[in-house]
């Protein structure tokens, strides 16, 4: 399971007085658990074939490996993926996910196949989520099928777009809220409208909205928000699901969940990068969520697989 936290939406058109106030910052913290016990050493990765054969069960327990999940691997330990979806962004996410592992493993562990030549199928599922199953993607070894829940995938674009828009709004109002309020107040005073007037709050909100939209920076804000809607939200989703799919590919190789929260194979993981307007706009092509522990565990799982097959 690979789950992400979603940020609640706020409207871009904020005309009430409260809209001009700076929103409290949302802070997050990352706790990194020590996972040395599941990180195979360099020496462990250089053992003989007979050693892996003899100690497969013990190693599987120690390093949290799931041999019964390795049904899509050929005898050489590699997997061939057939893409059974027409969604262009999801196809790109899969390609990126495969590249994450191939780069870290130093070999083409995952390659693209066809309907007639493959060891696993990648597709979407229209199954609705339930209280007991909120997974956005999963690997089914018996069916050799890796699936993404379509409803969560489609909703992710809006979630990411909302997060990016909120960041842009916050940045704008952090910088200009005082200026807008002061200018609106001065304009009303120049018209002889006192704060004691019964309609002052309504008039203030209206004037503040006029001042706000007259600022050159507001035009930039609108342009940035348009960019989010046209491309950046989808770009963020592309990388979000690249990590999600890469997590499931870890299961394909025989990895159970890691106890280390920083690992891709932690049971509930994700990256704030995909929600960042600045980071997505700058590009996430160099980002790779597969950690050293993920890589070493995968190498060990594959060595044991080829040793016993």
pLDDT in tens, the chain (309 residues): 333 222 123 333 332 222 222 223 333 334 444 445 899 999 999 999 999 999 999 999 999 999 999 999 999 999 999 999 999 999 999 999 999 999 999 999 999 999 999 999 999 999 999 999 999 999 999 999 999 999 999 999 999 999 999 999 999 999 999 999 999 999 999 999 999 999 999 999 999 999 999 999 999 999 999 999 999 999 999 999 999 999 999 999 999 999 999 999 999 878 899 999 999 999 999 999 999 999 999 999 999 999 999
How many domains, the chain?
1
Q: Given its phi and psi angles, is residue 75 left (phi above 0), alpha (psi -120 to 50 degrees) or beta?
A: alpha
User: Is 237 within 8 Å of 161 (Cβ atoms)?
Assistant: no
In a domain, 11, yes or no: no
Q: Are strands 120-125 and 145-149 parallel, antiparallel or unpaired?
A: parallel
- Would 59 be classed as within a structural domain? yes
Residue 1 located in a structural domain:
no
Are 307 and 75 spatial neighbours (Cβ–Cβ below 8 Å)?
no
Q: Classify residue 215: in a domain, yes or no.
A: yes
In a domain, 66, yes or no: yes
The pLDDT assigned to 23 comes to 28
Q: Is residue 191 assigned to a domain?
A: yes
pLDDT of res. 52? 98
Q: Which domain holds residue 68?
A: 42-129+150-308
| C-alpha R_g of the chain | 25
Contact indicator for 217, 177 with CB cutoff of 8 Å: no
Residue 140 belongs to some domain of the structure: no
pLDDT at residue 37, as a whole number: 81
Report which secondary-structure segment, H or E, holds 306.
helix 292-308
| Structural domain includes residue 33 | no
Burial of 285 by CB count in 10 Å (0-12 exposed, 13-18 middle, 19+ buried)? exposed
């Amino acid at each position: 399971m690979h789950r992400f936290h979603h940020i609640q939406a706020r409207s871009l058109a904020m005309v009430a007085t409260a809209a001009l106030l700076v929103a409290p910052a949302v802070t997050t913290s990352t706790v990194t658990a020590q996972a040395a016990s599941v990180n195979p050493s360099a020496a462990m990765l250089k053992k003989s074939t007979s050693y892996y054969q003899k100690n497969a069960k013990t190693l599987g327990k120690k390093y949290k490996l799931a041999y019964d999940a390795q049904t899509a691997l050929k005898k050489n330990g590699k997997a061939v993926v057939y893409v059974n979806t027409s969604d262009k962004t999801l196809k790109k996410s899969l390609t990126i996910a495969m590249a994450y592992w191939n780069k870290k493993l130093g070999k083409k562990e995952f390659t693209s196949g066809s309907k007639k030549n493959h060891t696993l199928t990648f597709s979407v599922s229209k199954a609705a989520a339930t209280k007991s199953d909120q997974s956005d993607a999963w690997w089914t070894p018996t069916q050799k099928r890796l699936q993404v829940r379509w409803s969560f995938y489609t909703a992710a674009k809006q979630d990411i777009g909302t997060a990016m828009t909120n960041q842009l709004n916050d940045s704008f109002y952090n910088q200009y809220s005082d200026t807008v309020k002061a200018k609106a107040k001065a304009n009303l005073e120049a018209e002889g409208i006192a704060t004691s007037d019964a309609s002052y709050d309504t008039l203030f909100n209206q004037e503040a909205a006029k001042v706000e939209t007259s600022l050159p920076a507001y035009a930039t804000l609108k342009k940035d928000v348009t960019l989010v809607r046209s491309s950046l939200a989808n770009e963020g989703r592309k990388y979000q699901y690249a990590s999600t799919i890469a997590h499931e590919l870890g299961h394909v190789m025989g990895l159970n969940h890691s106890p280390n929260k920083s690992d891709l194979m932690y049971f509930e993981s994700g990256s704030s990068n995909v929600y960042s307007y600045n980071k997505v706009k700058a590009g996430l092509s160099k980002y790779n969520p597969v950690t050293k522990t993920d890589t070493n565990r995968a190498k060990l799982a594959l060595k044991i697989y080829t040793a016993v097959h």
